[in-house]
Structure 1
């Protein structure tokens, strides 16, 4: 049986779970499934899943670190490592970390990726909130 793009991209349960008009669980397919998978990977701390203790992204280790170039660099590396390990359907083209001046304490991970099966280039921005200590006067 030849492998086509739809088979490779797969489908999965919508997250968060919801039902359709007939009461059945809603499924997502293709690129939407991949985007939801990326969000799940980045929002899961390693150790949260009992049967998969290494699943997730180490970014939560940076919660009380200062918003500095070193923290941004670590966040960039943690995001890249997690997606490379846990989302085999994509090639990560670039990960940029941006300080969000509109949301205090937020670092934005801008992820550019390509879906391997379709060569569809996409991007997603995922916020990480860093509880930076305020400077004393």
Structure 2
């Protein structure tokens, strides 16, 4: 069992835990929505996608996010997941990230959707 994200306490007053599937999804979410420079000892960690939410939304923005996110996933989580499909869409004031991946430890395939908007 791993620590759940965001950090909180369970019903017994202990640090909440998460199974492998949920923990991997939490790690992906942290990577996507962490800006470069936020982590003290890892200033390169993150994808920078959160900063792009405030940029003018366009297909070009979606392509940029897809490219930078693909590189970040490979760099920071390449030993944990294999990225199958990554699609980033920009629709009005909302940026949506659809990710299909498999967990290397179990070989199980998963999909997740992440989004932020104004």
TM class by smaller structure: 0.7 to 0.9
Count of residues paired in the alignment: 117
Q: Which residue of 2 aligns with 1:6?
A: none
Question: Does 2:93 match 1:97?
Answer: no
Distance in 2 separating the partners of 1:51 and 1:62: 23
2:62 to 59, 72, 86: 72
Q: Which has the larger radius of gyration?
A: 1
Question: Does 2:107 match 1:107?
Answer: no
Distance in 2 separating the partners of 1:115 and 1:48: 26
**Structure 1 unaligned runs (5+)?**
1-10, 132-137
SS in 2 for 1:73: helix
1:26-45 equivalence runs, <5 A: 26-45=16-35
C-alpha displacement of 1:76: 0.6
2:42 to 45, 52, 70: 52
CA deviation profile, 1:21-57 (whole Å, cap 9, x unmatched): 3321111121111011111111110100111111111
More moved, 49-58 vs 18-27: 18-27
Provide the TM-score with structure 2 as the length reference. 0.87
Question: Does 2:71 match 1:81?
Answer: yes
